[in-house]
Amino acid sequence: MKDTKPSILLIYTGGTIGMVKDYDSGALKAFDFSNLEKQIPELKQIDCQISSLSFDYPIDSSNITPDHWIALVELIEKNYHSYDGFVVLHGSDTMSYTASAISFMIDHLHKPIIFTGSQLPIGDLRTDAKENLITAIEIAALQEDGEAVVQEVGLYFEYKLYRANRTTKISAAHFNAFTSPNYPALIESGVSLEVNNAALYRADKTKATEFSKCIDSSVLILKLFPGLSEPILRSIVQTKGLKGIIVESFGSGNAPMFDWFKKLIDELVEQGVLIVNITQCFGGSVLPSHYETSLARINKQIINGKDLTTEAALAKMMLLLGNKTPYSTYKESFEKEIRGEMK
């Protein structure tokens, strides 16, 4: 009889979760994922088959680049039809950036891709790594009527699964390192897994999964602040090759109404530089033209980032630029929700 247990592929990209302490020397060394079930016997209680592979050269997440996003998508594409779900182990510092990017780079996803990591190495006495890893695998293997319960890119940390492109890292010191300020958790882990079915994303089942590997990183993030001067801002935004700017504005989308600032925005738009307006607040959304100081009042071509996180806005901009979205339709394309990333 054919084994019908879900098959899960664990992909280690690098990060704290993949390290263990050598108690003789006190040094950290790479965890051997080929003996995963031997070293974490609790995994045998999950009704699934687990395989693993690693990047050839695992990296600290601070060194992540779009090239690594492409490499990860290629790994998932290569193994997509051989596994029922994927768990990606990643350093926490840039996990929301990578997870958001992967969500945009895979269209019509019908399987779970769950990102997780840890604040402490897997061999530490008080580590959060084992719980995060075990539950992430359990979620990836979760099925109902032969179908995956989660069919999107998620990020699991400290008892909660979030939609990946809704997350941001909020702490370098606590185990609850991530949150989703504008969207509820998809699953909460307690005595049992509590699934928020109404919050889950579903792609069109009639369409085949597609993988995009075109990323254009000719962009920057500009956080507005009191004291931002014209000479400094001009020196930054007039960089040759700049194609897009994510502006983290005040409150619900507000910006200084200085003449030089308005003139500079108009110049950038005229040059074809794309400008996306998101709020630098922890939660909430851009409300264009809500106030006299709204950035949207400066130029009608300003793109409304609505309630996007910085990480999701950046990834979405890079993907649309990489896919050669025409300038004439870029605003419309960006403001349209494509992976449950905004409302």
Contact 142, 193 (CB under 8 A): yes
Distance, in Å, from the CA atom of 298 to the CA atom of 70, rounded to the nearest integer, reads 36
- For the question of residue 16 being annotated catalytic, the response is yes
Distance, in Å, from the CA atom of 316 to the CA atom of 319, rounded to the nearest integer, reads 5
**Catalytic choice (13, 16, 179, 310):** 16
Catalytic residues, which ones?
16
